[in-house]
Amino acid sequence: MENQIITPKKTIFSGIQPSGTLTLGNYIGALRNFTLLQDEYNCIYCVVDMHAITVRQNPADLRRRCLELAATYIACGLDPKKNIIYCQSHVSGHAELGWILNCYTYMGELQRMTQYKDKAAKHADNINAGLFTYPVLMAADILLYQADLVPIGADQKQHLELTRDIAQRFNGVYGDVFTVPEGYFGKVGSRVMSLQDPTRKMSKSDPEDCYIAILDPADVIRRKVKRAVTDSDAEIRYDPENKPGVSNLLSIIAAMTGDSIENVVNDLSGQGYGTLKNRVSECVIETLAPIQEEHKRLMADKAYLQGILDENAQRANAIAMRTLRKVQKKIGFAARG
């Protein structure tokens, strides 16, 4: 056998809020790529239900959405034996490390967080302490698993920066306890834009017509694509600057089929926007159909899904506990018998 240098796998950690639905943008920009990482990295995907309660949640909805989110991840091709897919509240170390890190984070740092300022403005009747310390819990999520890489969108950059500052501050006092994580950003160009305002990112918090949800039925997908904003010059050409709507549709086809944009444009040249939109609907429907089927199967087999979540929480807990015990010892908590 050839000599091999064995380097330990790096750890990727990501948290996803169980609020709202995942969109085609999440699929193309994140989920689909995660399946390509599952052999090369230790990947941990956490359903962050504890973050979700920083705004008021309906208990039955929250419970269902946590399961649905886990099922969507698995249905998109993330093997729950290779990856760890679990609920944050099932691993108590998140709360425990979160508390400790609160004592190593300054009020001034949290006051500068733009997401806090936005959310406080949006939920003026419920500016709770959890909303304020949200980034500290996020830091605990990441640092508990000694994550090397954290896939995040631009809106979470400030939180990751704070996580790095907290880790470095802690390490500065107690030695190398935490891995200082880096952001992991998807390929440029894999951004899917809103169907109604193609100069903005497709987002689940916009009105329904703006996005395609991974679980949208075929007729809904057709309707939304049919209503997608294009332009009036009726020429199929890739030009994101001047033709953002048409270019977005072309890149969706390219992403779904794996074809180059150039080929997609050549294929469709001389055709009308109706044909372009039909092509978009059909390839989106075709890609999402097996995912939706698997999702349905998983949701119908709650015992199986529950078993997966339990097993994965145990795997996560084993890693988390190692870090937590080390931290507790470093800061001087009394040893356990």
Catalytic residue among 10, 81, 82, 119: 119
SS3 45: strand
How many helices (DSSP H) and strands (DSSP E) are in the chain? 14, 5
Q: In whole angstroms, how close is the CB of 45 to ligand TRP at the nearest point?
A: 9
Q: In whole angstroms, how close is the CB of 163 to ligand TRP at the nearest point?
A: 8
Q: Which is nearer to ligand TRP, 142 or 221 (CB)?
A: 142
Q: In whole angstroms, how close is the CB of 48 to ligand TRP at the nearest point?
A: 4
162 touches ligand TRP by CB under 6 A: no
Q: In whole angstroms, how close is the CB of 140 to ligand TRP at the nearest point?
A: 9
Catalytic (active site) residue 201: yes
Q: Report CA 282 to chain centroid distance, whole Å.
A: 26
Q: Which positions from 7 through 66 interact with ligand TRP, judged by CB under 6 A?
A: 13-15, 17, 48, 51
| 313, 314, 318, 320: CA torsion to nearest 10 | 20
Catalytic (active site) residue 81: no
**Tokens 């075709």 appear where?**
286
**Tokens 């309660």 appear where?**
53
Q: Which is nearer to ligand TRP, 141 or 148 (CB)?
A: 141
Angle between helices 302-331 and 59-75 (to 10 degrees): 100
141 touches ligand TRP by CB under 6 A: yes
Catalytic (active site) residue 9: no
68 touches ligand TRP by CB under 6 A: no
Q: In whole angstroms, how close is the CB of 256 to ligand TRP at the nearest point?
A: 25
Provide the token pair at 140.
């605990």
Catalytic residue among 201, 224, 243, 277: 201
Q: In whole angstroms, how close is the CB of 19 to ligand TRP at the nearest point?
A: 9
- What is the sign of the dihedral through the CA atoms of 19, 24, 26 and 32? positive
Backbone region of residue 61 per phi and psi (left: phi > 0; alpha: psi in -120 to 50; beta: other values): alpha
Catalytic residue among 10, 82, 204, 330: 204
Which single residue brings its beta carbon nearest to ligand TRP? 15
Question: Burial of 106 by CB count in 10 Å (0-12 exposed, 13-18 middle, 19+ buried)?
Answer: exposed
Only one of the segments 122-130, 134-142, 206-214, 232-240 lies at the binding site for ligand TRP (rule: CB under 6 A); that segment is 134-142
213 touches ligand TRP by CB under 6 A: no
Query: DSSP readout, 293-307?
Result: HHHHHHHH-HHHHHH
- What is the sign of the dihedral through the CA atoms of 130, 141, 158 and 65? negative
Number of residues that bind ligand TRP (CB under 6 A): 13
- Which H or E run includes 85? strand 84-87
Q: Which is nearer to ligand TRP, 159 or 277 (CB)?
A: 159
Residues engaged in binding ligand TRP (CB under 6 A): 13-15, 17, 48, 51, 138, 141-142, 150, 152, 156, 159
Active site residues: 119, 201, 204
